[in-house]
Amino acid sequence: MRTTFQGSIVAMVTPFKDGRVDEAKLRELVEFHVTSGTDGIVPCGTTGESPTLSHDEHKRVVEIVVETARGRLPVIAGTGSNSTAEAIDLTRHAAKAGASGALVVNPYYNKPTQEGLYQHFRAVAECADLPIILYNIAGRTAINVETDTLARLARDCKNLVGVKEASGSLDQMTQVILACGPDFSVLSGDDNLTLPLMSVGGRGVISVIANIVPRETVEMTHAALAGDWKHAREMHLKLFPLSRAVFIETNPIPVKEAMAMMGMVEPEFRLPMCRMGAANRERLRTVLVQHGLIKG
């Protein structure tokens, strides 16, 4: 199995209202991405505040996104956990719900060895007939999936079809591309590195800024995929201030605040996520005004 996920795949926020998942707003956001030409949706990832969703809420969000998408774009459900048994349960649910794939993050906090990582991801990959994208983000999980481990997994697990690479290291990303081959989708986990990664063979991005500028993110990634590097570079430079602004505080705080300023969602989080500080909110507002997303 080598399903190719590429282009602009949005790491979608989870909208809340009065402490509960806002299911109506969630459906609106899915429709927004369908009409914007987004290439895929990831519900229940880091940007979707998955650590503070109950398992029932997590599964319900995946079900709603799949139901609303109706096959019009791929839904890649976040199903990772630091418990292999929990990751297997969430991945099996995603498959049953009709998801197109699963995004499985490194086991966090328990800091497994490379052999432990291999056994974890292999167990998840073998639990369901579903394409798997590994999510490698040492900054949040305290462990890096080394390239040799990833290549071993790609060789042994035919449904491991790609990686969301958020190491911040173009050197490591290039090593992965060389080690795993052209049919393995290496996707950026950092919006500001999408074009640099695509220039050496990356296939796109699982994007935070696509929550607010989906069409422009699609335009940049599709230009790169088509080899139109001049236009892709122009779009990268245009989007770069936004890419930086949505990380001036911990993701997903800034992007959700931006969406609230744009009237897309309520600025509601679950602790320990909280509202952005006033000074940073003004910095974010300035960038949104400069980009023409809100009025000054």
pLDDT digits (tens, 9 = 90+) for 79-117: 999 999 999 999 999 999 999 999 999 999 999 999 999
SS3 290: helix
Q: Dihedral angle at the C-alpha atoms of 239, 135, 52, 253, nearest 10 degrees? A: -20
> How confident is the prediction along the chain (296 residues), in pLDDT tens digits per residue?
456 899 999 999 999 999 999 999 999 999 999 999 999 999 999 999 999 999 999 999 999 999 999 999 999 999 999 999 999 999 999 999 999 999 999 999 999 999 999 999 999 999 999 999 999 999 999 999 999 999 999 999 999 999 999 999 999 999 999 999 999 999 999 999 999 999 999 999 999 999 999 999 999 999 999 999 999 999 999 999 999 999 999 999 999 999 999 999 999 999 999 999 999 999 999 999 999 999 98
Does residue 249 fall inside a structural domain? no
111 belongs to the catalytic site: no
pLDDT at 296: 83
Does residue 143 fall inside a structural domain? yes
CATH number at residue 15: 3.20.20.70
H-helix or E-strand containing 245? helix 229-245
Does residue 284 fall inside a structural domain? no
pLDDT at 1: 47
Nearest-angstrom CA–CA distance, 80 and 45: 8
Nearest-angstrom CA–CA distance, 284 and 184: 35
Pull the structure tokens for residue 182.
């052209």
* Domains identified in the chain, total number: 1
Does residue 78 fall inside a structural domain? yes
Catalytic residue among 25, 59, 108, 135: 135
pLDDT at 213: 98
135 belongs to the catalytic site: yes
Does residue 158 fall inside a structural domain? yes
Does residue 63 fall inside a structural domain? yes
Does residue 22 fall inside a structural domain? yes
Q: Which residues does residue 188 pair with via DSSP β-bridges, in sequence order? A: 165, 205
Does residue 239 fall inside a structural domain? no
Catalytic residue among 59, 164, 230, 238: 164
Nearest-angstrom CA–CA distance, 274 and 260: 14
Tell me the pTM.
Answer: 0.97
pLDDT at 278: 96
Chain position carrying tokens 């991801």: 121
- Residue 41: count of CB within 10 angstroms of its CB: 28
pLDDT at 3: 63
Range of the domain at 128: 7-225
Nearest-angstrom CA–CA distance, 57 and 52: 9
